[in-house]
Amino acid sequence: MTAPKRVLHIDSATTWGGGQSQIATLIRESKGLNIEHHLATPDQSKLWYKSRSHIKGHCSFARSAALNPLAMLRVRRYCREHNINFIHTHCGKSHTFAFWLKRFFLPEIKLIVHRRIPAKIRSNMFSRMKFESPLVDHFITVSDFIRGILIDCGVDASRITTIRSSKKAFPCESDDKARARAAIERTKNLAPNGHFYILSASRLVPDKGLFILIEAFRHLVRERPHCRLFIAGEGPLDKKLRSTARALVKSGHVVFLGFRKDVVELLLGADLFAIPSLSEGLGSTIVEAMMAKTAVIGSFVEGIPELIHTGVNGLTVTPGDPNALYEGMLRLADDPKFRSLLADEAVTWAQTACTPLVMVEKTYGVYLRILEVSAK
C-alpha cells in the first residue's frame, strides 16, 4: 500500500464561515481516499474544534503570524515530524505565511493556494509575487470568475483548477418542506396570512446587497401583501438594516432572525431564496438552496451566474437594481408553476455538480497531479 498523501491545511480564521465549512467537508468526506489531514489554525478556531475528530494532528497558528519567522520554524518542524507532502492554504494570511515559509524554510513542500474571494490582486510587488511565483505549485479557485482574476494577474492557466464549493444533499420532498414551513410560520412577530416566504441568509455586510433587497421587497409587499421576508444572519450592518426596514418589521412583513444554525430548515420552508449580492466569488448558500428544492433569485455578478442559469434553474437580475429585483420576485411570487420548474431543475443540477464527492475527488486529483509533475 502506498503512503498516504499528508496535507496540512492552514486557515487563520477563528470564526465559522463558508470557507471553514468547505475545509471541514473536504476533511470529513475524504475518508475513503489515501489522504491524511492535518490542521494549522489558531487555538480558538471553530474549524479545529469541529474537525478535531477527523484529523491526524493540529499545529497552533496565530492570526498574527503571517510574517513571524518563529511561527514558520514551528510549522516547519511540524511538517518534517509528520512527513507532510502538501500545505493547502485557505485564506490570504495563510497564503502569505506559507509562501514565505516555503521560500526561506521549507522549499521541498508542495504549496496549494485556495482562492475563494473575488477581489482583484493588489498591484504592489509583494502581492503580485505571491501569485506569479512558481513557489505556488497550484491554485484552486471556487469559480471561473476568480480563475480569470488570477490569469489576468499573470498566473498560467495550467496552474489553476476551478472546484466549486459543495453542499451535502438532504431530504427535500413535500413532507420535509411542509414540516419546515410550519416551523417558519411559528416565528414570533410574523404578520398572519402570509403565503409567500422569501429568505435571505448571509453575513450582514455591504457586499450582500441587503439594502437593495429591502427596497425591492418594499415595492413587492405593496403589490402582494401576502409576501414575507426573513433575513437570517449577523454582522456590522444589523442595526442599519433594521432601521431601514423599521416599518416593515413593525407590520410583521420583515423578520430579522439573527444568526441561525438551522439554515437548511429555513431554506426548506421558504418559497424563494434571494441573494442580491454586489460581489460574490460563488455563493455556496445558493447551492444549499438548490439542494432544498427552493427557487433562487440572485444578482448577475461575478461567480453567481456559474450557479444560477437564468430561466433554467433560477433567475438572475442586474446587481444593485431594486426595481429589477422587485420584478423578478414578483414574477416568481405570481407563477408557482414556473417557480417549481426552476426548483426541480436546480436540485437535479446541484446534486450532480456540487456534491462533496465531486469536490473531494477533484481536490484529490490536484494533489496527484502535483506529485506526478514533481516526479518527472
pLDDT digits (tens, 9 = 90+) for 157-168: 999 999 999 999
pLDDT at 40: 95
pLDDT at 4: 76
Do 278 and 370 reside in the same domain of the chain?
no
Report helix, strand and coil shares of the chain as percent, to nearest 5: 50, 15, 35
Look up residue 331 and give its DSSP letter. H
Q: Tell me the CA distances in angstroms from 20 to 218, 237, 249, one per residue in order.
A: 34, 22, 32
Residue 206 above 80 pLDDT?
yes
Q: Are 154 and 131 in contact (CB under 8 A)?
A: yes
Do 43 and 185 reside in the same domain of the chain?
no
pLDDT at 352: 95
Q: Which segment of 152-156, 180-184, 362-366, 372-376 scores lowest on mean pLDDT? A: 372-376
Q: Which segment of 29-43, 56-70, 158-172, 260-274 scores lowest on mean pLDDT? A: 56-70
Going by pLDDT thresholds of 50, 70 and 90, the confidence category of residue 177 is very high
C-alpha cell at 55: 484529523
pLDDT at 376: 59
Report the alpha-carbon distance of residue 328 to residue 113 in Å, rounded. 37
Q: Which domain holds residue 222?
A: 174-353
Instruction: Report the chain's mean pLDDT, rounded to a whole number.
Output: 94
Going by pLDDT thresholds of 50, 70 and 90, the confidence category of residue 319 is very high
Do 342 and 245 reside in the same domain of the chain?
yes
pLDDT at 297: 98
Do 214 and 251 reside in the same domain of the chain?
yes
The tally of domains found in the chain comes to 2
pLDDT at 64: 73
pTM of the predicted structure, to 2 decimals: 0.92
Average pLDDT over residues 148-156: 94
pLDDT digits (tens, 9 = 90+) for 226-276: 999 999 999 999 999 999 999 999 999 999 999 999 999 999 999 999 999
Do 181 and 93 reside in the same domain of the chain?
no
Domain of 201, CATH number, reads: 3.40.50.2000
pLDDT at 194: 84
Residue 112 above 70 pLDDT?
yes
Average pLDDT over residues 13-37: 91
Do 115 and 200 reside in the same domain of the chain?
no
Do 290 and 312 reside in the same domain of the chain?
yes
Do 152 and 241 reside in the same domain of the chain?
no
Average pLDDT over residues 77-83: 97
Q: Which segment of 38-47, 131-140, 347-356, 365-374 scores lowest on mean pLDDT? A: 365-374
Going by pLDDT thresholds of 50, 70 and 90, the confidence category of residue 31 is confident
Residue 375 above 70 pLDDT?
no
Q: Calculate what percentage of the chain has a pLDDT beyond 90.
A: 85
Do 142 and 106 reside in the same domain of the chain?
yes
Instruction: Please name the helix (run of DSSP H) or strand (run of DSSP E) that holds residue 38, with its range, or none.
Output: strand 35-41
Q: Tell me the CA distances in angstroms from 112 to 41, 120, 298, one per residue in order.
A: 16, 19, 31
Do 271 and 367 reside in the same domain of the chain?
no
Do 231 and 138 reside in the same domain of the chain?
no
C-alpha cell at 77: 518542524
Residue 1 above 60 pLDDT?
no
Do 213 and 347 reside in the same domain of the chain?
yes
**Among 132, 125, 70, which Cα is nearest to 97's?**
70
